[in-house]
Amino acid sequence: DQQVKQNSPSLSVQEGRISILNCDYTNSMFDYFLWYKKYPAEGPTFLISISSIKDKNEDGRFTVFLNKSAKHLSLHIVPSQPGDSAVYFCAASADSGAGSYQLTFGKGTKLSVIP
Amino acid sequence: KAGVTQTPRYLIKTRGQQVTLSCSPISGHRSVSWYQQTPGQGLQFLFEYFSETQRNKGNFPGRFSGRQFSNSRSEMNVSTLELGDSALYLCASSRGGRAFTDTQYFGPGTRLTVL
């Protein structure tokens, strides 16, 4: 049972355009969401996060939108740059009981930004 | 500031053996989390240690264990290795607020191959 789903394994975007990466979740207990970027042969790098009490968080070229009613999360990158080419993971955190938290990842979307 | 370091970077073991992986967090970070990445299951949370105590735990069998020392360095142990344990094992450190809400910094990982 995949609680966090990234339905697009890959995405290609022209340089300068907007990249939109999507993530759906099923567990209504998730209260904190994160996006990570991963280059080959490196560990993931934190990009941006959002608490469930917000619906938008912006950091430079990166904006994360949260639609709790739809259980949907998206990451917008504007403008896209070739250096953004990487695998992007969304992740969600919830209290699994007695104050113990878990972090659940999607399978990732490979973004290719074409110069 | 030195990043998160993991040793060894590569490891080959046979079924039934045990293995210990090491993670040195960023100086001043008190939380260390461990993750397993495989092609089939993606990134999965193993456990998190904070101030020498396991604070959060994922859904892995008891063969996977860990500990944290007073200098925040952490080790992860897998006993009775199975072929399915072949994976990239990542550790991440953070200052240690509520789990996963503080920015996590990942190491490059240890690639474990079980033959």
Contacts of residue A101 in chain B, CB cutoff 8 Å?
A: 48, 56, 98-100
Q: Determine the Cα–Cα distance for residues A81 and B5; give it in Å rounded to an integer.
A: 29
Summarize the confidence of residues B1-7 as an average pLDDT.
89
Contacts of residue A34 in chain B, CB cutoff 8 Å?
A: 100
| Residue in chain B lying closest to A6 (CA) | B42
Q: Which residues share a beta bridge with B56?
A: B48
Under an 8 A CB cutoff, do B42 and A107 touch? yes
- Residue B85 has φ and ψ, to the nearest 5°, of -85, -5
Q: Determine the Cα–Cα distance for residues A111 and B57; give it in Å rounded to an integer.
A: 31
Using CB atoms, which residue from B42, B56, B58 is nearest to A108? B42
Per the prediction, chain A carries an average pLDDT of 94
Does the pLDDT value for residue B15 go beyond 70? Answer: yes
Under an 8 A CB cutoff, do B90 and A43 touch? yes
Which residues are CB-contacts of B68 (< 8 A; sequence separation ≥ 6)?
B32, B49, B50, B51, B52, B53, B74
Q: Are residues B75 and B20 in contact, defined by beta-carbon separation less than 8 angstroms?
A: yes
Taking an 8 Å Cβ-Cβ cutoff, which residues of chain B contact chain A?
4, 33, 42-45, 48, 55-59, 90, 92, 98-101, 103-109
| Residue in chain B lying closest to A98 (CA) | B56
Using CB atoms, which residue from A41, A89, A101 is nearest to B56? A101
Summarize the confidence of residues B15-28 as an average pLDDT.
97
Under an 8 A CB cutoff, do A32 and B100 touch? yes
Using CB atoms, which residue from B90, B100, B103 is nearest to A93? B100
Contacts of residue B56 in chain A, CB cutoff 8 Å?
A: 100-102
Does the pLDDT value for residue A111 go beyond 70? Answer: yes
Q: For A57-88, write each residue's pLDDT tens digit.
A: 999 999 999 999 999 999 999 999 999 999 99
Does the pLDDT value for residue A25 go beyond 80? Answer: yes
Alpha-carbon torsion angle B9, B14, B19, B25, nearest 10? 20
Query: How far is B36 from chain A, CA to nearest CA, in Å?
Result: 11
Q: For B52-64, write each residue's pLDDT tens digit.
A: 999 998 989 999 9
Detail the DSSP E strand segments found in A39-85. 45-51, 56-59, 62-67, 72-77
